[in-house]
Amino acid sequence: MKSQFLIAAPHSGAGKTTVTLAVLRSLQRKGLRVQPFKCGPDYLDPKHHTLAAGNESINLDRYMMPDAHVRELYAKYTDGAAISIIEGVMGLFDGANKMQGSSAELSVFLDVPVILVVNAKAMAYSAAALLYGYKHFYAGLTIAGVIFNFVNTPTHYRILQEAAADVGITALGYLPEQEQIKIPSRHLGLHISAETDYNSIINNAADHLEKYINVDELLELTKRAAPVYTRSPASPAGDLRIAIAQDEAFNFVYKENINVLSQLGSIQYFSPLKDTVLPAADLLYFPGGYPELHLPALAANTSLLQQLQHYKGKILAECGGMMYLGTAITDESGTIFPMANLLPVHTSMLQKKLSLGYRQVFIDDVLLKGHEFHYSQYEKNTALTGSGIRVLNARDEVLATPVFKTDNILASYLHFYFGDNVKGLKKVLGI
């Protein structure tokens, strides 16, 4: 038996990320090995989790991943941990298509109870109706406890505590509002600022949590039989040389994507910002990130850009990586910065518009899944989606999202998840 739970909320903005980070740090400070997970395709929350727990956070996603893969990942990373904590995504029941891929669906699938974080700043006994609805809406869902956030007085909390008791849900405490523990706003919803001392913020959040929340009761309420993990025999690594862009401009990478790439050969990392020599490699992987925040440095590294134009191996590029392979990127002020010129596309931070959602990409007979999240747009796009390629959203609606495929390049705005599909990736890339 070990404590396992999913921290969720009725809606975004209730404070579930701050509570998650506070719980992770509180347990880590007690000397407990805690394994964090993130429901959904988010890149930033896992970075925060990893900092708070001292243990790398893993994405679990029932839209992008087959069920067997989700179970395997959860068992694999829970094995050896004293406590496993999943941070939910959006509201508890919000998914790609109704509840598909939602926090509630994942909770029931893994038989993990929910700790609900409720923003009760402007709520009193009406919390009983909200909790009753969330408790009974989805068969099989277990809400083990509730934390009331943004509650500033014990009197207010007593009313909320009575509401929870009348519904049959344990109230674990309340958290007064405190400016010092708020995570700063994100660049495009996805940025960790180098100027922010996140470690201090997380420590302050843990101190705050320990004053008002019964962490021991939380752990006792959420004890469940641990999943059994059977380790598979290691496969011999291939002989490909793989180079992955990794620096402040390119860092949106799923751990399991790296794990499956390591099965294909040796991996090394390089920085398009700082390295002037392109590594000798059979496959270059440019993941997404923040190239728009580092355009002068990327454009100034002409040595690397010129070497890319003569590179003959395979290239996989996602979102920011694709932007870097284009002819140019225009920043928010209208300044144009030349890029690698491997794709006839020019992207721009002017006229920003959010493109967001899960994607299915059919490339001939191979299906790759991923998601799209960006504000930049094409200023010029003379490249056409490769023949035999179709892009659909989570509702199976056909989209006009371009996917660029040449003899040696696969690139698009999509962030692919291929941690369960190395065969499909090899076939698409021709390696």
* Enzyme catalytic residues: 319
Q: Give the C-alpha separation, 198 to 195, whole Å.
A: 9
Q: Give the C-alpha separation, 200 to 365, whole Å.
A: 49
Q: What's CA 262's distance to the chain center, in Å?
A: 21
Scored b (16 or more CB within 10 A) or e, 212-236 reads bbbbeebbebbebebbebeeeeeee
Structural contact between residues 109 and 67, judged by C-beta atoms closer than 8 angstroms: yes
Q: Which of these, 212, 431, 188, 367, lies nearest to 293 by C-alpha position?
A: 188
Return the amino acid letter for 56.
E
Q: Give the C-alpha separation, 239 to 244, whole Å.
A: 16
Q: Give the C-alpha separation, 296 to 303, whole Å.
A: 14
Distances (CA, A) of 73 to 62, 78, 237, 250: 12, 8, 20, 25
Give residues with Cβ within 8 angstroms of 390, minimum separation 6. Answer: 361, 362, 398
40 bridge partner residues: none
